[in-house]
Amino acid sequence: MPYQEYVTAAFQTDSDLKELDRGIGFAEQGEWKKAEEAFGAAVANLTKSPDPDRKKLAKAYWNLGLAYEYAGDYDKATQTVRKAYELTQDKSMLRELDGIDSSLRQGPHRVSADRAAPEVASGK
Angle between helices 18-28 and 32-47 (to 10 degrees): 170
Domains along the chain? 10-121 (1.25.40.10)
* Contact status, residue 6 vs residue 28, Cβ threshold 8 Å: no
Which pLDDT value is given to residue 24? Answer: 95
What is the C-alpha to C-alpha distance for residues 67 and 65, in angstroms, rounded to an integer?
5
- Tell me the per-residue pLDDT of 89-112, one tens digit each, with 9 for 90 and over: 998 899 888 888 877 667 554 444
Entry pTM? 0.79
- Tell me the per-residue pLDDT of 47-77, one tens digit each, with 9 for 90 and over: 999 999 999 999 999 999 999 999 999 999 9
Q: Which helix (H) or strand (E) holds 57?
A: helix 54-71
How many Cβ atoms from other residues are within 10 Å of residue 34's Cβ?
A: 16
Q: What three-state secondary structure class fits 13?
A: coil
User: For residue 87, is pLDDT > 50?
Assistant: yes
Which pLDDT value is given to residue 102? Answer: 79
